[in-house]
Amino acid sequence: GDVITVDVIIIGAGAAGLSAGKTLSEGGITDFVILEATERIGGRIRNAEFARLKVELGANWIEGVNGEKENPVYTLANEVNLKYSDALYDNVSQNIYDHTGYLAPELVTPVVERAEHLFDFVEDLGTKFTNENLDDISVLTAQRFFGHVPSTAVEMVIDSWNYDFVSAEPPRVTSLRNSQPLATDTFLGPDSYFVSDQRGYATLLEPLAYYLNCKGGMCSDPRLRLNTAVTKIEYSTGGVTVHTEDEIRYRGKAAVLTVSIGVLQTDLIHFSPALPFWKLSAIYQFNMAVYTKIFLKFPKRFWPTGPGTEYLLYADVKRGYYPFWQHLDNEFPGENIIFTTVTDDESRRIEQMPDEETLAEVMVVLRKMFGPDIPNASHILYPRWWQDKYFRGTFSNWPIGVSSYEYKQLQAPVGRLYFSGEHCSEQYNGYVHGAIFAGSETAHAVLKCLHEDKCDTLYSRPKATT
């Protein structure tokens, strides 16, 4: 097949790949290509048609605003006048249901208050562990130090609201040191905005990728190669050769690989030579979580509406069984759309079910919450991120057992092959802003290599940090 020679090959046109291209451009390297397997830019930022409207199947919130450091996602959103609204999480104690229906606030308020104390305690312990450089423990272990672990249906749903809704994995899995308190809240700010713009959340990537001339999702710059899946990467200290499904080889002085950690954990891309053990070990230890929004449309509204009703919780004896609910009356008045979110094993389970089976389960839950007379949903839509070979999940979560030293190995290049993507942002992994920061940081390392000849050597094992 053909051989195309460029300075740098970027693999993946998600937020990280596009951000890497921007930093390279600004650093004087414009001879690059971006190889993207799918038909569009944006990766895990993606919307879809749903009953006359468009809804976001991937990233939906701009997380971390109004803090000491500006969130680049917020800046970009404002540049394109993206439509978003305040995420009003605070009122959730007024909106809890179980199999008997609505739970009066006086029943649940003491549980919510205790969960707040528990949350603060865990954050303080996380700070202590970081400051004193103590060996990591899980968030669940930290909760045990509080003397109480959530165990009733209501306690569990509030607990999963505080943790699983954010990290898509339960506290027993998640690292205390690396998630508490959340750097996004601490540095970028405590507020979040929910995006409902009909042009799509991904519109904010257009100013980021200005060098590709994108408008309405279409980009005219030939350096972007859509529908171009990478199958094999050969790397050395001299450069990188990337093979694609359409049998073209791209040769570069360096490459930036931004596919998700879920993809790296599979054999979708063949590496030659095989990735060294320390690198594979770091890749396999990190977690790709799964988080699924299930959108439903009804012929009429039967849930409460008005300020403070947006987020609802359903407490089941089985933790994680259709626990989180959010209506879209503010965003799409009169459309009668509500969605439920599940995570982790429940996501994996429903990904394997046909829509009708999931809908039947969801209707049973809704009838417990709102009574037997509510109508059936007319539409259902949910994505299968975990089954998709180009994603294999939704976002990374830092598990217990991965130290900062091992994390550096996840980020480290092998030869001239550089790794990037949201999972490579030490502070902000899992988020769109994490992907943007990581893409830029990796591109800076590539610039240093190409301009100053300061490149990491093949198989170099990153030095331990204290």
Ligand X SMILES: Cc1cc2nc3c(=O)[nH]c(=O)nc-3n(C[C@H](O)[C@H](O)[C@H](O)COP(=O)(O)OP(=O)(O)OC[C@H]3O[C@@H](n4cnc5c(N)ncnc54)[C@H](O)[C@@H]3O)c2cc1C
Among 8, 33, 55, 63, binds ligand X (CB under 6 A): 63
Q: Which is nearer to ligand X, 90 or 452 (CB)?
A: 90
Binding to ligand X by residue 269, rule CB under 6 A? yes
Residue identified by tokens 């603060």 is: 120
> In whole angstroms, what is the distance from residue 362 CA to residue 370 CA?
12
CB of 367 to ligand X, least distance (A): 26
Binding part of the chain for ligand X, among 47-55, 59-67, 156-164, 443-451 by CB under 6 A, reads 59-67
Binding to ligand X by residue 242, rule CB under 6 A? no
- Residues near ligand X (CB under 6 A), total: 40
Binding to ligand X by residue 11, rule CB under 6 A? yes
> Are the beta carbons of 416 and 236 closer than 8 angstroms?
yes
Among 9, 21, 23, 43, binds ligand X (CB under 6 A): 43
Tell the burial category of 418 from Cβ atoms under 10 Å away from its Cβ (0-12, 13-18, 19+).
buried
Under rule CB under 6 A, which residues in 371-410 are in contact with ligand X? 385, 390-391, 394-395
Among 143, 260, 397, 411, binds ligand X (CB under 6 A): 260
Query: For this structure, is 49 an active site residue?
Result: no
Q: Using the 8-state DSSP alphabet, how is residue 393 labeled?
A: S
Binding to ligand X by residue 13, rule CB under 6 A? yes
CB of 185 to ligand X, least distance (A): 12
113 is in an annotated binding site: no
> In whole angstroms, what is the distance from residue 96 CA to residue 267 CA?
43
Q: How far is CA 75 from CA 9, 71, 79, 204, 466, in A?
A: 27, 7, 6, 9, 34
> In whole angstroms, what is the distance from residue 319 CA to residue 357 CA?
20
CB of 430 to ligand X, least distance (A): 6
The H or E element that residue 292 is part of is strand 291-297
CA proximity to 384, closest of 293, 265, 287 = 293
Written as one letter, the residue type at 278 is: W
Q: Using the 8-state DSSP alphabet, how is residue 240 labeled?
A: E
Binding to ligand X by residue 200, rule CB under 6 A? no
Binding to ligand X by residue 209, rule CB under 6 A? no
CB of 334 to ligand X, least distance (A): 25
Binding to ligand X by residue 183, rule CB under 6 A? no
- DSSP H helices in 99-190: 105-131, 139-146, 153-162, 164-167, 183
149 is in an annotated binding site: no
Among 324, 339, 386, 431, binds ligand X (CB under 6 A): 431
Q: Residues with catalytic annotation?
A: 63
Question: Which residues sit in the known binding site for FAD?
Answer: 36-37, 230
